[in-house]
Amino acid sequence: MSTEPIKADTHFLRDTIYGLTEQIDLLTILQDLSKKIVSGFDFDQIINRFLDVVKEVVNYNACALFLYNEDLKTYRVVSSRGGPMKKFNDDVPDNKIVDWIIKEGRWTPIPNESKTPPKKFQSILPLCGMIKKLGFLFMISDQDEHCYNKTNMTILSFIADQAGIALENQNLYVQLNDSRKYINNIVESINNGIVAIDLSGEITLINKNATAILGIESGDVIGKSYREVFTDKLTKKIDSLIKKIINQGYVIETRFEHSPYKEFPITIGINASVLLDDNNNKIGIIFVFRDMLASMEIQRLLQQDEMKSEFVSNVSHELRTPLSIIKSYIEAILDQVDPEDYNTQRDFLNVVNKETDRLSGLVNDLLDISRIESGKYKISLTPVSLPEIIQSVIDNLKSETDSHNIITRIPSDLKPISADRDKMTQVFINLINNAIKFSPEGGEIEIQVIIMEKMLLCLIKDQGIGIAEECIPRIFDKFYRVDTSDTYEIPGTGLGLPIVKHIIKSHGGEITVKSELNRGSEFILSLPYGDSKQIK
């Protein structure tokens, strides 16, 4: 039997095993080289490792790594060995050759144009990413006919691919890191507290304002359960919100009385909403905490600004009306009324006098509010008779009405009180005049004084249109007027009651009101009486 077939098979198997062993060794080498290049996210580290690995394969004398600059639309050296970068920038290979090699996508020798021996072996190794061209590595090495071979081409192409992937990953990592910093800056700049948790209850995000509002001593709580970080009371509230939002699946907003610091209890608003992934699966919950004191202060300032705008509008109207009347009547006296018609002149002048008083009252109110806000509003206390002040005001206001029935119930043994006569007169003019303006003709207005222990109660009650319940807390605010169809035609600026309240408080008293729509209002003044000490 011939042994030739067996020898041939043996030789074939030996060559196959040898070839497979070489392939395995090559794959092992490529794997080790890949790990060296792609194991980092630092740009300089990736470049240096790439150049080191290439150096092991091609023992170059000098090299320069060119990357494509999108802004300049050209290749620029980012790293070099064996020579200054400026020299390589000046000697950049022809772009047509570079573009052809990058298109071919393999390690390629280029002509050496040097005329002085010894000639050097020059080559270009293209770097391409998954999406776009990245650049190339230009190498200069000693002339070696064994260097440029299939194995080295395979290794260098693989290394270049890995370097391209690593550079793209590094660029994505930088963009991701920049985005993360940008988002963190946004979160930190938000005035409200932000806390995000995952479905297990671990905190995944928290900003500094949240630690301040919630009284958390340290912001180093990422990865901890909110139950470890929040107070027991707040934890119970968050537990309740989580159950609701998981079941209902929509935004929930509530208020919570919180004491982050024992001596400073605050009201915080909590807004909670579900966090979803791309497939609309719940992955967590985000909470927004607001200091309601700050929100309420902003709301108060906005309301005050709105009231000031309304006030300017009202004052403009109030000033324009008497000025127009005064001007028209004076023009009539000068141009239309017979100089000998004294009765008509007198009637017209009475109207002018009345409107002048109205204008003077408005200006005085403005001056009083200005003095109150600047702290220059002073009172001068002397013994005054309250019945005399009330009766004097009623007599002066009789010209305002002939149909209202004003009833007074004042004890005959009422002693003088310590008060500023002019300021107290101003109080009763305002309150009784309001009762007349807001009451129907024929309505009854009752003024009653009650003597209590060291205190006088003075009640001014009418049967007018009344005040809506939601408006009562604001009627003593500056510039505020109850805005209804019933009050639209009634003149006023919203300054009278704030001035009244300040006068009463300056005398050590208080003013309150009871009212019901279409049933009337009752203003209640309480003033120190007898030997009680008054606030000046």
pLDDT in tens, 378-409: 888 899 999 999 998 888 877 666 677 888 89
| b (16+ CB within 10 A) / e for 291-307 | bbeeeeeeeeeeeeeeb
Distance CA 504, CA 424 (A): 8
Quick one: average pLDDT of 13-19? 55
The percent of residues above 70 in pLDDT, for the chain, comes to: 77
243 CB burial (10 A radius; 0-12, 13-18, 19+)? exposed
User: Does domain 13-175 sit in CATH 3.10.450.50?
Assistant: no
pLDDT in tens, 299-310: 666 666 666 666
- The pair of structure tokens assigned to 37 is 């290049």
Distance CA 170, CA 93 (A): 27
Q: What is the pLDDT of residue 315?
A: 67
Confidence class for position 202, pLDDT limits 50, 70, 90: very high
Place of tokens 């709580």: 221
pLDDT in tens, 135-155: 899 988 876 656 778 888 888
User: Does domain 304-372 sit in CATH 3.40.50.720?
Assistant: no
Query: In Å, how far are 300, 321, 382, 471 from 306, measured between CA atoms?
Result: 10, 23, 39, 16
Quick one: average pLDDT of 227-248? 86
Q: What is the pLDDT of residue 449?
A: 92
- The pair of structure tokens assigned to 485 is 């169809």
Confidence class for position 14, pLDDT limits 50, 70, 90: low
pLDDT in tens, 325-355: 888 888 888 888 888 888 888 888 888 888 8
Q: Mean of the per-residue pLDDT values for the chain?
A: 79
Q: What is the pLDDT of residue 534?
A: 45
Place of tokens 């940008």: 182
User: Does domain 378-528 sit in CATH 3.40.1390.30?
Assistant: no
- The pair of structure tokens assigned to 171 is 């660029």
Q: What is the pLDDT of residue 295?
A: 60
What are the residue ranges spanned by the domains of the chain? 13-175, 192-296, 304-372, 378-528
Q: What is the pLDDT of residue 36?
A: 57
Domains 13-175 and 192-296 fall in the same CATH topology: yes
- The pair of structure tokens assigned to 173 is 């990592």
Q: pTM of the full predicted structure?
A: 0.42
Which residues, at least 6 apart from 517, have a Cβ–Cβ distance to it below 8 Å?
Answer: 465, 466, 467, 468
pLDDT in tens, 459-470: 999 888 888 888
Which residues, at least 6 apart from 16, have a Cβ–Cβ distance to it below 8 Å?
Answer: none
Query: Which architecture does CATH list for 192-296?
Result: 2-Layer Sandwich (3.30)
Q: What is the pLDDT of residue 225?
A: 92
Cβ-contact 9, 133 below 8 angstroms? no
